[in-house]
Structure 1
Amino acid sequence: MTTGKIADVFNLRRGEGAPVLVAGLFFFCILTALMMLRPARDALGMERGLDSVRWLFIGTAVVTLLVNPVFGWLVARLRRLHFISATYAFFALSLVGFWALLMFAPGAIGARSGQVFYVWFSVFNLFVTMVFWALLADRFSSDQAKRLFALIAVGGTLGAIFGPWLAARLAEPLGTPALLLIAAGFLGVSIALACWLVRLRSDGPRDAAVHDPDAVRIGGSALAGIRAVFASRYLMGIAGYVVIMTIVATFIYFTRLQMVAAAETDLDARTGLLGNIDMWTQVAVLVLQVTLTGHIIRRLGLAFALALLPIAMAVGFIGLAIYGSFLVLILLEATNKAIQRGLTRPARETLFTVIGREDKYKAKAFIDTFVYRVGDVVGAQTEGVLGRLGMALGGLVSVVVPLALVWAALGIWLGRAQQRQADLESPRSTTDGNTAPR
């Protein structure tokens, strides 16, 4: 197959190959670091029962709310590459700190420290991926996002497959603490790739002082992102979409934990089972990303891409309530991840390409961290209440189906609103303003 035909298959245009490759490698490193450690996070969280996990979700939401003004302050005071590097460096150094604790003070490790790691990892997970996608929304135009974000996301999927595989191969010969250092190393490489990505030439000329995003600080206040979300119908719509998405994902998460807890009682066995589920469900994600997503978003539109996941989840939960088997759960989770990561996530990140630079980092941070975790808390508590009432899967279906209708309607509205905004603006003009669509 010739280079031109390959470019046509992947919707690439002249000058886009290098940025897409670097961005894909960037996402590969982030997801490798995350997925190496996530099975251990989940297993540690289950040590004191599922009710403890529900409270950990509340703790995580509180921490993300407290961290948002700090991140907003960094965005206002530092240049783009500096606050991105500072974010990744902080989490890398935190991993080194956990490694030192495991190596030199193992007696201090207990249930409480496991809970601290659970909360820290949950914050880490959201912020490193949020910063990545915010940079992409700032670096690529709306049209490029629709064509290229799914292809770039392939790098993350490969990392999500490679991370658990690498952890399984290295945990025994090197020990679990060594995995923390390896993950920190991947974050260090991510910093270098972020610098490379923003320094690659964009299409068209750039005036150094005006059009170079790294020539000036974004400015504004530490709380500007929070205020922007509540002042914009568009951003509020994205927040509502994220909340419902995470509520449904949390229902799947706790259903999985319950079935895993019933199937395996040993910590190592639970970790292994959770890791295998994570690894194999990525295969479906990869197939969708490589073959269909870019064409679906470009030809059928963002509205379709954003509405497909709610419909699939409603159907999946109905099937789970009818059959109630572990196999159906795995199929539901695989479908959720395949559509969410392969189609919905690239489409959702495209929504941020038509807002101002300040909102791309500050408002996006608030939505992708605190608002996301609010959905987790609501989902966890709702699932717990239904369980205590003895409603189980049937109760979940009665909640998921009406939520899915609202969720799908929001997706259609957001997709159309993004297209209207993109039609009003030139491809590069969105990098200069600081106002979200109202």
Structure 2
Amino acid sequence: MSRNWVTLAFQRLLGLVTEIRPDELQTTLRLAARIFLVMVAYYLLKPTREALILADGSAELRSYAVAFQAGLMFLVLPLYSHFSRRYAGEGIFVGVTLFFISNLGLFYFLGTGGARLGLVFFIWLGIFNVTQIAQFWALAAHVHTVQSGQRLFAFIALGGSLGAVVGSQLAEWLFEVLGPFQLMLVAMGVLFSAIFAGGKLPGRAEGDREGRPTGIGALLGGLVPVLRSPYLRKIALFVVLLNCINTIGEFILAEMVVGHVEATLSPGESKEARIGAFYADFFAWVNLLTLLFQLFLVSRLYRTIGVQGALLVLPLIALSGYMLMAFFPVFAVVRVIKVLENSTDYSIQTTTRHVLFLPETTDGKYAGKTTIETLFWRMGDLLQAGVVFLGVSYLGFKTSDFALFNLGLAVLWLLVAFRIARSYQVLAGPLNADGPYAGVRKTPATAARK
């Protein structure tokens, strides 16, 4: 009796975030624990990345690392696509995680042996971040129906938000004590725990596989499901625009921060310290709002305006925000807009982006999603780097000019979001049956795309 009372009380507590049914509770908690541990491992490794690349005296190599990552993904994606078609589900997540764990072990032995790993580890961690998280959400989409995923993804994503907070704090405590390479060993242990945290997940859905590509299709790997699906092509464009707009916004903020600090710096005051203090406060507000949005807003938005409406929230914020920046390029305005934009991106937008793959086929959830979250995400980075380079070096752009450029991109982004929302409604409608987990899908999502 007492155990039932505790379970009921715990379930009501979780109900503050979203509705979780008794038969869903165990799997939902396991998935939340898994993404929590993945994010803890990632944030444990971030200080190591910075320490190694700066120790090599090659801070400018950061700008080249993105291009290397995009190039490597072209080589990796065909191999990944092959394995995802054979081992979709728990098998591909475990295999990818063990692969990254083995990489960390190699980095540890090379690093303690005196090898210079700055650029290589920087590139590797970028690939780890996007790929490992994509694997997790592909698995989560694989074991949920559209209906259950729309309810439960908000809570599962909360595990990731908490993992980022805990991982950052642990890294701050442990880095000075253990150093960069011993911290790799800690991250390896956390990733091993993430494998076992999943427990026994529900069986994967059948009946939604597409034929294996051959010839040039096999060489293209994960690009195949993206290129042949109008729905995935729209999501890919959405991701490119999202990342390009956000990173141009980060450049605008950085320019404004430097200008504000230089204009208000007192004699004898450290410029670096002032900039560091600003970003510490900035990220504190972003993390706080991200957690609050994830806790109390995401699932409620899904219930009131649906996934389709939630998809439009960040583009609308960007549209109004960059319009304000363009005509009122004031430091305080830019700061508030970027706090709101980033916290919305890390909570509402990120969760909604994962939900979009719920009605997809197995290829779409694994190979397609991984391609979009890695290759197309990095294309957004490359595009913004080109915009900033041309704007600064040849066009003489000021802060307001970059904001106007982002305003134009935000209009296009909003139009793409509207198209995706309509497609999602068509795809998810027939699959939005009640029930906790996958196995109910009888026809491939491609049928709904025609």
Q: What TM-score bracket applies, with the shorter chain setting the length?
A: 0.7 to 0.9
The match for 1:176 is 180
Percent of residue pairs identical: 26
Q: List gaps (5 residues or longer) in structure 1.
A: 202-210
The match for 2:130 is 126
2:19 and 2:151 in contact (8 A); partners too: yes
Q: Deviations over 1:88-126 (max 9, x none)?
A: 111122122222222221xx32xxx32222211111111
2:207 and 2:442 in contact (8 A); partners too: no
CA 1:287 to 1:34, structure 2 compared with 1: closer, same or farther past 3 Å?
same
The answer to whether 1:226 aligns with 2:235 is: no
Distance, in Å, in 1 between the alignment partners of 2:74 and 2:279 is 29
Kindly report which structure 2 residues correspond to 1:144-293, keeping only aligned pairs within 5 A, or say none.
144-194=148-198, 196=199, 199-201=200-202, 212-213=204-205, 220-221=212-213, 222=218, 223=220, 225-255=222-252, 278=283, 280-293=285-298
CA 1:192 to 1:158, structure 2 compared with 1: closer, same or farther past 3 Å?
same
Q: Deviations over 1:37-70 (max 9, x none)?
A: 33554576676455x4333221111111211111
Distance, in Å, in 1 between the alignment partners of 2:101 and 2:253 is 29
Distance, in Å, in 2 between the alignment partners of 1:290 and 1:320 is 29
The answer to whether 1:31 aligns with 2:36 is: no
Distance, in Å, in 1 between the alignment partners of 2:231 and 2:28 is 28
The alignment covers a number of residue pairs equal to 418
CA 1:265 to 1:73, structure 2 compared with 1: closer, same or farther past 3 Å?
farther
Distance, in Å, in 1 between the alignment partners of 2:358 and 2:406 is 30
Structure 1 residue 162: Cα displacement: 1.0
2:208 and 2:445 in contact (8 A); partners too: no
For the aligned residue pairs, the C-alpha RMSD in angstroms reads 3.2
Which has the larger displacement, 312-321 or 122-131? Answer: 312-321
Distance, in Å, in 2 between the alignment partners of 1:87 and 1:272 is 38
Kindly report which structure 2 residues correspond to 1:381-396, keeping only aligned pairs within 5 A, or say none.
381-388=386-393, 389-396=395-402
Kindly report which structure 2 residues correspond to 1:10-409, keeping only aligned pairs within 5 A, or say none.
10-41=18-49, 48=58, 52-78=61-87, 80-105=89-114, 108-109=115-116, 113-194=117-198, 196=199, 199-201=200-202, 212-213=204-205, 220-221=212-213, 222=218, 223=220, 225-255=222-252, 278=283, 280-320=285-325, 322-323=328-329, 325=331, 330-388=335-393, 389-409=395-415
Distance, in Å, in 2 between the alignment partners of 1:400 and 1:387 is 15
1:39 and 1:274 in contact (8 A); partners too: no
The answer to whether 1:433 aligns with 2:441 is: no
CA 1:229 to 1:361, structure 2 compared with 1: closer, same or farther past 3 Å?
same
Distance, in Å, in 2 between the alignment partners of 1:261 and 1:177 is 33
1:72 and 1:362 in contact (8 A); partners too: yes
Structure 1 residue 434: Cα displacement: 6.7
1:25 and 1:155 in contact (8 A); partners too: yes
Q: Deviations over 1:260-291 (max 9, x none)?
A: 8897888x999998677545522111100111
Distance, in Å, in 1 between the alignment partners of 2:189 and 2:398 is 42
1:357 and 1:434 in contact (8 A); partners too: no
Structure 1 residue 226: Cα displacement: 1.4
AA at the equivalent of 2:362: R
2:149 and 2:358 in contact (8 A); partners too: yes
Structure 1 residue 80: Cα displacement: 3.0
TM-score of the pair, normalised by structure 2: 0.83
Q: Give the greater-gyration-radius structure (CA).
A: 2
The match for 1:204 is none
SS of match in other structure, 1:387: helix
Q: 2:417 aligns with which of 401, 411, 414?
A: 411
